[in-house]
A and B are shown apart, each in its own frame.
Chain A
Amino acid sequence: MFDRVTRTFERDGQPVPALAEMSFTVREREFVAIVGPSGCGKTTCMRMAAGLEFPTSGSVTVGGRGVTGPGPERAVVFQQFALFPWKTVYENIEFGLRGKGIARGERAERIARQLELMGLRDYGSAYPHQLSGGMQQRVAIARSYVLDPGVLLMDEPFGALDAQTRVVMQEELVKLSRVNPRTVLFITHSVEEAVYLADRVVVMSPRPGRMREVVDVATVRAAEDWDRHERIEDVMDQQSFVRLRTRIWRLLREQQATATEQP
């Protein structure tokens, strides 16, 4: 939950506002995506929820408690995967469990389930550099999911993947979150991705980042039963999808116009 969060950076001794009075709440087991132009502070939002950065004013709370630092109950999936190159796929996924002090037997069980779920069963002993980008990001997602975190934070996790792989990963993430709903904060600059994945979409305006509007997707998805479609292109073909997408696009375009009008 973000309450009037403001974050200022300093550049050449000058304060540069990155985020201004940002307030929103992610509900339990809700998938919230933040969209906005680059430099609107959406990654800063995620980093503050992760405890890797802190607000200049205002507060970020998770489960009622203020965020004081990073922790495994708020697992992060980074755009650059951030896998440890010297650890195998298995060891990468195991790392956080060992950090939590979970016994070997339980670790093996949970990792096996996760490898199966992410289609990584035969890759446990591979090193990250032997895998494609899509596979590497699967490992990173498995590494977060295996911790059974209260909150999943994803910072443009598919941004570094090619278009085809991205679509496959998006479809799999939807399946995964239908099977096992989590509280997710998902950062993206892709409107389609946000509408396809999220229950609600937070639209941001450019710097200093402010919340522009929160668009409800879950109600439309349930009413139109998007989940009966297996493929992303079929969902994206729905009138209801197009309408939502257009609405968010307009919001983004409007604020761009106002931003350029300012001196």
Chain B
Amino acid sequence: MTAGADRRFRLAIGTATVLALAAIWGVGSAGQWIAPIYFPPPGEVWTAFVQVAVQGYADGMLHQHFLHSCLLVLYGFVAAVAVGVPLGMLMGWSRRAEAILNPAFLLLRPIPPLAWIPLAIVWLGLGDAAKVLVIWFAAFVPSVINSYAGVRSIEPHLLEAARSLGIPRAMLLREVLFPGALPLVFTGLRLSLQACWTTLVAGELIGAITGLGHLLYQGGLDIYPAMILVGMVAVALAGGLMTALLTLLEARAMPWRGR
């Protein structure tokens, strides 16, 4: 089978599975085999979607919740990456930097990001700043680790070749170290982004005025499973969208990896 035919086959199978699940959902709900209190029928979910999109729910319209969550993730993510990637690369490049920074980092690393929530609230209150801080912690650790590993993964003979060519230090950092580390840096960004969304939802569940986590929380309080489902799908979409953007950026940043 050719690669193209194989891909088409996989796509067909995958679509069939999703359609089958949707059919089970529709038929099961219509036939009352699935209790609506546990899992709402498609019509109810649609009604909930229209309600939150048009009239609003949990103190905001769907797009407000959506945008608010995306912004918080973006702030935390960008701030974490801006600090984490250079720090990780520095640790990968310089033994001295590694000796100084690594012990502190090892101490920080095993703390689950969610464990920072109480402290973040004490420091910054219940507002957005505390959530951004927690998201920052969640994204920081994978950024550092993978940037560090990225620099270390560069084949030693490439560095030797650069030194033999007489490449000055600044050029070596910019044109050998950085692009050499990039594949693993992006792996780190991907993991960071996932961690951001997990943390955001948890943070907003605990206390928020707007945001998708808040929408989920309100849906839980109101025992409104259809709305909870809308919230879950929205979180998945937002996360998927950001990951897709990252993938696009990755292809742009590493044109030499073209398929």
B contact residues around A100 at 8 Å (CB)? 166
Question: How far does the alpha carbon of A86 sit from the alpha carbon of B158 in the complex, in Å?
Answer: 12
Over the window 224-257 of chain B, the binary record of Cβ atoms lying under 8 Å from chain A Cβ atoms (1 yes, 0 no) is 0000000000000000000000000000001010
Q: Does the CB pair B157–A70 fall under 8 Å?
A: no
B contact residues around A99 at 8 Å (CB)? 165-168, 171
SS class, residues of chain A in contact with chain B: loop
Number of A-B contacts (CB under 8 A): 67
Q: Does A78 contact B (CB under 8 A)?
A: yes
Instruction: List B146-197 residues whose CB lies under 8 Å from chain A.
Output: 155, 157-158, 160-168, 171, 175-176, 179-180, 182
Question: How far does the alpha carbon of A87 sit from the alpha carbon of B175 in the complex, in Å?
Answer: 9
B contact residues around A98 at 8 Å (CB)? 171
Q: Does the CB pair A86–B179 fall under 8 Å?
A: yes
Q: Does the CB pair B157–A82 fall under 8 Å?
A: yes
Chain A residue nearest to B254 (CB atoms) is: A86
Question: How far does the alpha carbon of A52 sit from the alpha carbon of B160 in the complex, in Å?
Answer: 7
Question: How far does the alpha carbon of A118 sit from the alpha carbon of B106 in the complex, in Å?
Answer: 50
Q: Does A39 contact B (CB under 8 A)?
A: no
Q: Does the CB pair A74–B164 fall under 8 Å?
A: yes
Q: Does A66 contact B (CB under 8 A)?
A: no
Chain A residue nearest to B157 (CB atoms) is: A82
Query: What are 11 A-B interface contacts by the 8 Å CB criterion?
Result: A50-B160, A69-B163, A70-B160, A70-B166, A75-B164, A80-B155, A82-B158, A82-B161, A96-B165, A99-B168, A99-B171
Q: Does the CB pair B256–A85 fall under 8 Å?
A: yes
Question: How far does the alpha carbon of A127 sit from the alpha carbon of B254 in the complex, in Å?
Answer: 12
Question: How far does the alpha carbon of A99 sit from the alpha carbon of B161 in the complex, in Å?
Answer: 12
A contact residues around B161 at 8 Å (CB)? 76, 78, 82-84
Question: How far does the alpha carbon of A100 sit from the alpha carbon of B171 in the complex, in Å?
Answer: 11
Question: How far does the alpha carbon of A76 sit from the alpha carbon of B167 in the complex, in Å?
Answer: 13
Question: How far does the alpha carbon of A76 sit from the alpha carbon of B160 in the complex, in Å?
Answer: 9
Q: Does the CB pair A80–B157 fall under 8 Å?
A: yes
Q: Does the CB pair A95–B179 fall under 8 Å?
A: no
Q: Does the CB pair B166–A71 fall under 8 Å?
A: yes
Q: Does A147 contact B (CB under 8 A)?
A: yes
Q: How far is the CB of B12 from chain A (nearest CB, A)?
A: 32
Question: How far does the alpha carbon of A129 sit from the alpha carbon of B257 in the complex, in Å?
Answer: 9
